[in-house]
Structure 1
């Protein structure tokens, strides 16, 4: 069968599973809609957390970034993985013990302020909408190539599917859908990695293949890749071009941003006990490690195959996958030399090939000439990754509006049925807005997601970490810190990412730090403002201080 036929079959089967789970796990109460009733097992929650966190950026874009950026691209690998460890150790158990539905819920109660809750809602909406734009863009990329529709139509299809199971099932439906999506996305990511590792290095384990010699030669894979890239005018693959300051800043921003992501934090409210939150965090880390330890190998494999497949070849004789990706606009050729040959180069004046990093993982099995069913499997895995995270983000947006704004502030006497209806309506509106951002994204998937992590680091992380470990931190400090941190990040992004105040170059960056890394600076600003303001304003009430102290002690210690 052809790739498109296989794609229709596999995508149809997986979508049927998602819809079936949504019917089976339909939420009947606000607790089921917000936190799946609080009864999810640690193993299931670990798989759901992994799927929720490993978004389109992890599945589709991260290996592509490493493939093109080489050593520099590993900042995403280190930042996202390190951030999860930070979240699992420092935040998850304490927030589960607090026992609320959302991050704004924690901030509103911990800082005894409705205004603090409102600021947290605004931060949650900004982070979630920025993040979800990348997911919907990922959905559009997959559909545009494998179902041969334009990207916008692909986004519309993705909206319809997410709308169905997110609005109907809430967190209960999303949780069990994400368990299925994890199984699909990890299988889809690993199968071509096994095949290609065997082809290139003779080792079926990609992690070992990355450090092995190429079959039939005495040359190591990375040694050959370094030679290929430098010959074409690119930076040596295993040597970075970014400054150490920027590498550190991006890694830190991604780490602290991960620990402040509301759609990941809420996952730890779905288990019955604090102990289960710790166990599910451990499971999730193991499940995440499977993909994250494989991504560098996939990046090196596809970079090697891509260069050898396209460079110096006649454009008229390009393989079938090349012309199909050309139709999506994500790869393009300009015959500058008028010789009919494709010249791929690191020199902008002579380079004739433009490749979007988002296609690398999706095109990987086609470039390696793997069977049609493997190519279709990767498509279904990419959709699973994007849809799982999109659903989690949409739930955060929904609960921020229905629970934190409506129930906690505007209409405290609203019935449970009314609140559930409001949650579903706000989820529906959020899906539509997410579709708009997917059609008009501010960049490629991983870059957009990196900005979302910067917003989370700049706003939530200091408020949460100080709220858990500092009895002296008060509402004035937390609110001022969140506002100043978020505004710092917004200004820097508008100034240097979107050039709102005039053209800029990397030489204009403050301290040599890129917009993706400025979240670290904004987080430090937030911390300094929070601590300074709280030092000059009244201490929190005794009841709040006792609550903070109670959070930090395990049950049964007295």
Structure 2
């Protein structure tokens, strides 16, 4: 059976499973559409939360960043620490209290806590901006996976993915999405770990990829990371296990991802689906276990992918004579079966090479390194001829590079799509819930019937899918970068409001609104200065590099500063105005100091 047919069968089977689950778990009420009827078991909710949270950025893009940046790029450790640490923050400081409050959406909590429709509407705006930005990264991942494995254009892949999400998300709501995400977690974790085990065995003889990362490279007899360091430095690249020079930016970026994670509405609402507060705490613990199964493997996947990629494009690199050895020839790429993966990915536009000097070889080296560049020019080379390696292809291409069986390649394709679609569905539900429950029912038509609200939620979901697909056609960067912008927006706007709403009785409605608006506007303006085309293609902007950043702070890291602006504005305005009403202060006290882990407050 050829690879395309195998991919089609495996991916088609998983899609049929998702739609079948949605039909079985169809939402029949607003409670089921928004919160799965509050009847999800903590273990299943933990698994669904893992799938909801481990997006295309985690499955597809994160290991690619680790592969290409190594420890020398601050992003490697930042993504790992920020996303996992943020989930701990969410589980300890927010989830149990929000569940005890017993509402359906994050804006609803903010509106009630700050006794203000204006605060609720500002929260809706913050939620939609963050969630739409986030979902673009997921749709980008869907396009990447489809482009390669179903051999269609990435735009066509987006349309197919959007259709699948529409089929199960609009039909099932949170109830359907929850049980679909359980299945998607099983698919994505198996798809991620099986290739990693095969590749670890092949390169190091270790069954566990985590052990293989720090094991011995079988072909050379030296430590795997030491071998990788040797190869990349000989080619003129930064040492793989080096250290970042921009410590401030790394700290701010990690913190932005951390508090952004804790402020993401689509993750928070997962804790509204369990029967009681104790179950919210338990499901948070289970989710961390399920998340760790992927996150502890990701560094090994990235390092081994970089080693495989390097030795593919420089065959002699395996002997330690990289710069003096022969490169891969254009003829080999066209004729050798083990190099078919190169042409497969060239067709997608995500991998490109060019024989610049016409010698029939593809030279791979860092032509930005002056010493290496001078030596290369002496040989008659005119620049690095591996011109494009998109970070998002690393995980998906790794099984092909390592020549693993066809069923493993198909499984990885299904896993990447599961990761992207699961998070996309959660984000779209958060957007639809905010529009139908907070805007339509909360502000426009409070007397709307349950049937009417359910219809409005489904229409809002459909509209959100259309908008997300349109924006996903022109993403501002690879998946993890786009997602990082969303985390920064959530960090600067939603997280501070939730923290102050739970832990401070002094913050009033005026302070909350001032804080959210200040944090959001500050962060958006900073991002716009360097990434204006993210919002409006063709917009003039400053070059997005460290020389132009204020105090060396990247647009991906500015969410931390935005959060500080939010906290400061909220406290200053609140202290200058009246205290919240006594009944609101008593409400806060009842949420923050629960009398037990019994049944949560009913909606």
- TM-score class, shorter: over 0.9
Task: Tell me whether 1:351 sits opposite 2:388 in the alignment.
Answer: no
Task: Tell me whether 1:238 sits opposite 2:241 in the alignment.
Answer: yes
Residue 436 (structure 1) aligns with:
470
Residue 367 (structure 1) aligns with:
401
8 Å CA contact 1:458–1:485 kept in 2: the answer is: yes
* Cα distance change, pair 283–531 in 1 and its aligned pair in 2 (3 A): same
Q: What TM-score does the superposition give when structure 1 sets the normalisation length?
A: 0.98
User: Per-residue deviation at 1:501?
Assistant: 4.7
Q: How does 1:506-545 map to 2 (within 5 A)?
A: 506-545=546-585
Residue 473 (structure 1) aligns with:
507
Q: What TM-score does the superposition give when structure 2 sets the normalisation length?
A: 0.91
State the distance in 2 between where 1:199 and 1:243 align: 35
* Cα distance change, pair 423–70 in 1 and its aligned pair in 2 (3 A): same
User: Per-residue deviation at 1:425?
Assistant: 0.3
CA displacement 1:110-167 (0-9 Å, x = unmatched) = 0000000000000110011000001011111111100000000000000100001000
CA displacement 1:145-203 (0-9 Å, x = unmatched) = 00000000000000100001000000000000000000000000000000000000000
User: Per-residue deviation at 1:283?
Assistant: 0.1
Structure number, greater radius of gyration: 2
State the distance in 2 between where 1:242 and 1:135 align: 30
State the distance in 2 between where 1:501 and 1:13 align: 46
Residue 375 (structure 2) aligns with:
none
State the distance in 2 between where 1:510 and 1:99 align: 42
Greater Cα offset, 174-183 or 527-536: 527-536
State the distance in 2 between where 1:255 and 1:262 align: 14
State the distance in 1 between where 2:553 and 2:239 align: 22
State the distance in 1 between where 2:550 and 2:501 align: 30
Residue 286 (structure 1) aligns with:
289
Residue 426 (structure 1) aligns with:
460
User: Per-residue deviation at 1:316?
Assistant: 2.2
Residue 400 (structure 1) aligns with:
434
Task: Tell me whether 1:222 sits opposite 2:216 in the alignment.
Answer: no
Corresponding residue SS for 1:538:
coil
8 Å CA contact 2:528–2:541 kept in 1: the answer is: no
User: Per-residue deviation at 1:242?
Assistant: 4.3
| CA-atom RMSD in angstroms | 1.2
Task: Tell me whether 1:9 sits opposite 2:49 in the alignment.
Answer: no
* Residue-pair matches, total: 558
User: Per-residue deviation at 1:240?
Assistant: 3.0
Unaligned runs of 5+ in 1: none
1:337 to 357, 371, 390: 357
Task: Tell me whether 1:492 sits opposite 2:492 in the alignment.
Answer: no
Residue 183 (structure 2) aligns with:
180
State the distance in 2 between where 1:21 and 1:555 align: 37
User: Per-residue deviation at 1:346?
Assistant: 2.5
Greater Cα offset, 180-189 or 209-218: 209-218
Unaligned runs of 5+ in 2: 315-326, 334-338, 369-381, 534-538, 599-603
8 Å CA contact 2:228–2:240 kept in 1: the answer is: yes
Residue 85 (structure 1) aligns with:
88
Greater Cα offset, 244-253 or 333-342: 333-342
User: Per-residue deviation at 1:554?
Assistant: 2.5
State the distance in 1 between where 2:597 and 2:455 align: 42
Q: How does 1:201-280 map to 2 (within 5 A)?
A: 201-280=204-283
| Superposed structure 1 runs of 4+ greater than 4 Å apart | none
Corresponding residue SS for 1:506:
coil
User: Per-residue deviation at 1:345?
Assistant: 2.1
Residue 158 (structure 1) aligns with:
161
